[in-house]
Each structure stands twice: as C-alpha cells, then as structure tokens.
Amino acid sequence: MGIIEIITLIGGVAFFLYGMTVMSNGLEKMSGGRLEATIKKMTSNVFKSLLLGAGITIAMQSSSAMTVMLVGLVNSGIMNLKQTVGLIMGSNIGTTLTAFLTSLIGLESDGSGFNFMDLLKPANFSLLFALFGVLLVMGKDKKRKDIGNIIVGFAVLMCGMGLMGDSVSALKDDPAFINLLTIFQNPVFGVLIGAVITGIIQSSAASVAILQTLVGPGSGFTFGMAIPIIMGQNIGTCVTALISSFGVNRSAKRVAIVHIAFNIIGTFIGLIVLYSLNWIFDFAFMAWEIDAFGIAICHLAFNVFTTAILLPFQNALVSFANKVIRDKTDEKTKVAFLDERLFATPAIAISECRDITVRMSTVVKEALLDALSVLNKYDKALADKVEEDEGLADKYEDKLGTYLVKLSSNDITVRDSQNVSTMLHSIGNFERISDHAVEISKTSEELNQKKLSFSEEAQKEISIAENALREIVDLTFTAFETGDTVLARKVEPLEQVIDKITAEMRSNHIIRLQAGTCTIELGFILNDLINCFERISDHCSNIAVAMIEVAEGEFETHKYLNAVKGGNDVQFRAEYEAFAAKYNLAQ
C-alpha cells in the first residue's frame, strides 16, 4: 500500500465523516423541537424508549451524538439515568442503518448492458445526488436548503466510502496483507483492533465502513474474523461518551458507564455464546468469506442480540452505574442547569431553554402575586419570600441569557433563531417584573413601619389598578407558557387601559393633595406604587409583542403598536373599550 493509497484512505475517511456530519445536522434541523418533545413523552416505557432511541439515531446518523446528547440532558437534570437505558440500547440498533447504506458500494451488475443494480451503486448515483442537493442549497427556501444539505451530506458520505474502497482494493492481492489476516483468527485480537480503531476515529459507522471496504470476494476475510472486530467496534464507540462525561455531574457520568457496560457485557456474552456453540456445532458459515452486506447483517444481529439479552436487566445496569459512580452528599442538593453538550442538538437545547424560561416565569408570577398580597396585608415572611424569588429570577436570567447567547452562535434555523431572540427578550422583562415585585413589597413595608395608610378613595383606586394588573399578568404569562398568540393580542389593549388608570390616579392624587385629604409623603409612596404598576404592564406588553412578532415573522414593533393604537384595528378597539369599562375608576 503506497503513499497515494494511504492519502486516498485518509481523504475517504474525512469525506465519510464530513458527509455524515452534514447529513446528521440537516436531519436534526428538520426535526426541530419535536425530538425533545418525543423523548419526554416516550421514555416512560422501556420498549418505547428502545424504538425511539433507534429512530433518533437513524435520524441523527450517529449513536455517539445520541449518547452525548443524553449526557447533556442528564447533566441538566432534564432526564434521569433510568430513562436513558432504553435510548442507549435503541441507538446501538439504529446506528446499523449506516452499514446497510454503505454496503451498496459492493453491488455489482452482470455486465450485460443496463442493469437496475447499476443505479444503486454509489459511484453512479452519489454525484447526481450531489448535483440535486447543491441546487436545493443554492435556493432561498430554508427548508429546501436543509433537505439539500442532507442529500449533499449523503453524497459526500458515499464518495468517501468509494475512495476508501479504491485505496484498499490492492490489498486483496498483497501477500503481506493476506499473511496479516492470520492474526484476525484470534477473536480477542479482533475485538481489540475494532475497539482501538473506532476509539481513534470516534465513529463506529466510519470504522464499520472501513471494514466493509476490506472485505469481499478474494479478500480472505471470513465471518469468523469479522464478527469479533464488529463487537470491538461497538466498544470503541463508547470513547465519545467517555470524553463527553468529563466535567459533568455524577448522574451524567453514569450515562457513559451504562453505555460502556452495555457494550462490554454484550461483547463478552456474545463471544462466549458464539464460540461455545461453534465448538459444539462447528458452524460452517464461520469460514465463509464475508462481504459488505454480511458486515451490515452481523452488525445488526450483534446489537439486536445484545439488546435482547440485557434489556431485562436495565435496572441492574443502573445499579451498577450508581455503584461505580457514587453520590457525594453535597451534590444531591446542587441545582443542575442546561449543559452546553446540548449545543450538538440545537433544537433540543432551544426547547429545553423554553421550558426553563417558563419555569422562570412561574417564579416571577408567584413573586408578584405574593407582593400584591403583602401590599394588602403586610407579612414579613411573605415579603422575604418575594426577595428570594427575585434572587432566583436573577440567576435564571443570568444563566439563561449566557446560554442562549452561546447557543445563538451555533448553526441554527431561522425559526430557532427567532425563538432564541424572543426568549432573550422575554427573560429580561420577566426579571424586571420581579424587581418591581420587590419594590411593591418594600412599599408595603414602608407603610407598615411608618404606620401610614392611604385614603379610602386612594385605596379603592389602587384596588382597581391591582385587579387590572393581575389580569394583564395572567394574560401575558399564560400566553407565554402556552404559546397562545390570540391571548397575547389581548395584552396591549389592557396595557393601554392601565396607562389610562395610572394617569387618572396621578391627577386624582393632586386633587386630594390640594383638598388636604392626602399628604406629600403618601404622595411619594403612591407615585412609586403607580410607577411599578405601569412598568409591569409595559413589560407584559413587551413579552406579548415579541410573541406575536415570532408568530407573524419579522415586522417593525413600533409600526405594529402604532397601527393597533391608531384606531384602525377593530378588534383592538373593542377589547380596549371592554377593559376600560371593567376597570373604570369612576365606578
């Protein structure tokens, strides 16, 4: 094997890995957040998890990427270890599809003119795929571009497979290589070779593809030689999971332990069963020459066998992982957050960010409602809780904001980019609402310490404004949690009514001040309270408008607000009048 063949082999592996990455990214983008929602829905049942793990890995074209994603989900506290076992087993089965695709490289026609099998040979169709994919990528439609990337990735993968095959084709007639094959008669050596090569490449699909280029008519490779190598390749692919487990919490480290234990135990049992039965029955197929399709069949059979044997012992695998990686007392109380390993699957990362943003909104809403309760009747314990929730909201904003900014720098779809922008916009508004909740609580504390109270008329106005504030908060937060833009459109009319109420409250206070029924000191306190009500409603409006913007596509926010406020929007005007009648200070 000369220098040119070695360079061709290296280039073929590079093309193969690049093509798989491009195809995987395109498939993941098209699936969007549906992957994440499906994972949460189906991991309650081990058989569903098994099918889901296989399906996701087929879509992602990488069991290693699947395992890295699971490490990130467990590290973030989104999933527990037991939920990942079925997914890991299923991913090992799903990754075998690539071997069947690459086995097409070995198809041969009978040489008598046109043959349908010629169309299935990668050398004949991959370049046409590449052309078609490039044409789609050059278009403007984002969805078609993603489809084009998938097709181009598949074409590059197949071209890489072809280059690998060309580079090693001469080895089949090389006496030195034929002599080297005798080493593979030892199954233990075969397992080690398969594990080491796959560990270096960090892709079982690529190492299986290399093996497929070496086998075939005249190669001297038999089933007995290839099967241990295939078993070792399944162990080698655990290297990626092992690397990804560095720097994560102990629960996430256990995902890598389960993955490694599953493949090592499966290989150990597989070797014992295969060679014990072969010793008893002397299987004739062990001496048969194997081809690329045979490699794919063996790859699938081994993973199905391992899954069938170990599936009933998933709890034992979890227990083993827990014993290998024991909990520390201080880690049990540690709050997990989103893991950057999820950047490998941006749609899932974005979906999880949204879930945590909703969690943040729940904390903020609770803080505000508690603050309004404190305003009506001062309670020191409840006031302290408002401040604690505000501190938690600050942490949410800091961590979510940092994570989302980093996530936005990844290759994400336009839609995902809009969702990231909306979340970044919303978490800032949520955090400011929690700040105003603290200010309201402190207003109540000041009134309590100074033994002050508003006039009966001022208290009535505050009560009406408070009810309006409760409704706009409920509308906004419910709309955000559910993604209901119809509900979000009701926010702006109510925000305008609250602006009207606060303006009237300021005017009425001046009248009371002039009449001597209110003091300047109470006026300052009331003005602070009115400012809080007004600012909170403004932040609610900002969140609702951001939601509508994503739902309708790019549009100018100020232009939208001016249009609905200008009286041309009949629905807006009707809702405004209804809210104005409901929250009328003169009633």
Q: Give the start-to-end residue ranges of the domains of the chain.
A: 3-324, 342-451, 454-587
Q: pLDDT averaged over the chain?
A: 82
Residue 114, pLDDT above cutoff 50: no
Interatomic CA distance for residues 354 and 422, integer angstroms:
10
Interatomic CA distance for residues 141 and 147, integer angstroms:
10
CATH of domain 454-587: 1.20.58.220
pLDDT at residue number 562: 61
Q: How many other CB atoms are found less than 10 A from the CB of residue 413?
A: 18
Q: Give the pLDDT confidence of 62-87 residue by residue, as tens digits.
A: 676 677 777 777 776 667 888 888 88
Q: Give the pLDDT confidence of 373-402 residue by residue, as tens digits.
A: 999 999 999 999 999 999 999 999 998 999
pLDDT at residue number 36: 56
Q: How many other CB atoms are found less than 10 A from the CB of residue 428?
A: 16
342-451: CATH superfamily: Phosphate transport system protein phou homolog 2; domain 2 (1.20.58.220)
Q: What is the pTM of this model?
A: 0.63
The DSSP symbol for 569 reads -
Structure tokens at 394: 């600050």
Name residue 165's beta-bridge partners.
Answer: none
Where would I find the beta strands (DSSP E) of 100-186? none
Query: Does this chain's domain 342-451 share its CATH topology with 454-587?
Result: yes
Interatomic CA distance for residues 490 and 477, integer angstroms:
12
pLDDT at residue number 116: 47
Mean pLDDT of 131-153: 82
